[in-house]
Amino acid sequence: MISRQRSTRAGRHLSQLVEHYNKPVLQPFEFLALILRMYQDAHSEKLYLRKGRPDRNDYHRFKVMLHRMDVVRNDRDYGKRAFRVLPISDCPADEIVCLVDPTCYVSHLSAMQRWGLTNRSPKNLMLTRPERSTWKNIMCEYRQKILDEDHTDICPLHIIEHPKRVRGQSIQMYTTKSSGISLINRGTNMRISTIGQTFLDMFQKPDLCGGMVHILDVCEEHAETYLDQIIPTIDAIPSAIVKSRAGYVFQEYLGLEHPEIEKWKAFSQRGGSRKLDPSKEFAPTYSETWMISINV
């Protein structure tokens, strides 16, 4: 027997809005925003809704209704934290994670692979996200673009905890105080660190990028091609050790010249902890220019 909720005009209209939104997964507040749009359409579409604006009960009622209509389900990886839109084709893990959490982006060795900088295939999908307080601020701004503040009590903002596997892919999440620069990969829902940011990540966290030996190989093959994108990204951060590592690799190891690289020498300083490879022991081979142990 078909449920009465399956045949309501409001349910059909909301279903169309969800499908036209054209995302395989929805945040709960995105679903609420579509319910609000339906209420705005109520008069013109003759939807005969019970009142002028929805409350928490209406939100749950329409969620159950579209569940019975086989339009939405709790996502199989994120559970109640995201809705899977069944009429829309599913996406791979890198897109799903970025849709569920708009603060995330593909980074480190996974970004290197997607940019064609390495032939290595990382075991885990590597992503970056900001720490909790920054995450909340970004998500509040994102939610405000979609949902007005009068309705945020219906869908409180909760920190998104990512599962260990999404769409069968193992996830490795790197959390940082300040996220880097990312962009949306054309034709997808995936965000990825820019070329400049990807090289910056190599010098900040070599262990997440295949190790410093591999990074030297990547720089030898690709750094000159992307130097004009790499230099401004490294120049914009305050880290002295990153500038010294990059300066040594670009200038002394590869023989590349750029006016900004010369300026980085002012950040060089003596210190036993200053190493080209932070994961290796200090070595006596030393760059006097960049004041860094060449321990690779």
Query: Residue 255: exposed, middle, or buried by beta-carbon count in 10 A (0-12, 13-18, 19+)?
Result: exposed
Which of residues 172, 193, 214 is at a domain's end?
Answer: 193
Task: Decide if pLDDT at 6 tops 70.
Answer: no
Residues 8 and 100 in one domain: no
Asked if residues 198 and 107 have their Cβ atoms less than 8 Å apart, the reply is yes
Q: What b/e sequence results for 199-222 when a residue is b if at least 16 CB atoms lie within 10 Å of its CB, and e otherwise?
A: bbbbbbbbebbbbbebbbebbeeb
Instruction: Note the pLDDT of residue 7.
Output: 54
Q: What is the pLDDT of residue 1?
A: 30
**What is the value of pTM for the model shown?**
0.91
Look at residue 219 and tell me whether its pLDDT is greater than 50.
yes
Final residue of a domain: which of 46, 68, 90? 90
| Pair 198, 111: CB distance under 8 Å | yes
Q: 296 and 205 share a domain?
A: yes
End-to-end alpha carbon distance in the chain: 71
pLDDT value of position 155? 85
CA–CA distance, 25 with 78 (Å, rounded to integer): 10
For range 210-235, the mean pLDDT: 97
CA torsion sign for 260, 249, 125, 128 is: negative
| Tokens read off for 246 | 């990059």
CB atoms within 10 A of CB 78: 21
Q: What is the pLDDT of residues 95-104, one digit of tens each?
A: 999 999 999 9
pLDDT(42) > 50: yes
Sign of CA pseudo-dihedral 105, 106, 109, 115: negative
What is the percent of the chain where pLDDT is above 90?
Answer: 78
- For 63-88, the pLDDT digits (tens) are 999 999 999 999 999 999 999 999 99
Q: Is residue 65 packed enough to be buried (19+ CB in 10 Å), middle (13-18) or exposed (0-12)?
A: buried
Domain count across the chain: 3
| Residue that wins the pLDDT comparison between 204 and 5 | 204
Distance (Å, rounded) from C-alpha 83 to C-alpha 292? 50
Q: How confident is the model at residue 3, as a pLDDT?
A: 41
Both 187 and 126 in one domain: the answer is: yes
| pLDDT, greater one: 105 or 47 | 105
Which DSSP letter does residue 264 get? H
Angle between helices 9-21 and 28-40 in degrees, nearest 10: 130
Taking residues 11-36, report their average pLDDT: 95
CATH (domain of 75): 1.10.10
On the question of pLDDT at 153 being above 90, the answer is no
Mean pLDDT of the chain: 92
pLDDT at position 156 is: 86
Q: Which domain holds residue 172?
A: 91-193
Res. 217: pLDDT tops 70? yes
Phi and psi of 292, rounded to 5°?
Answer: -145, 140
Would you state the pLDDT for residue 272? Answer: 62
Which of helix, strand or coil describes residue 185? Answer: coil
Domain boundary among 23, 55, 90: 90
Question: What was the pLDDT predicted at 271?
Answer: 67
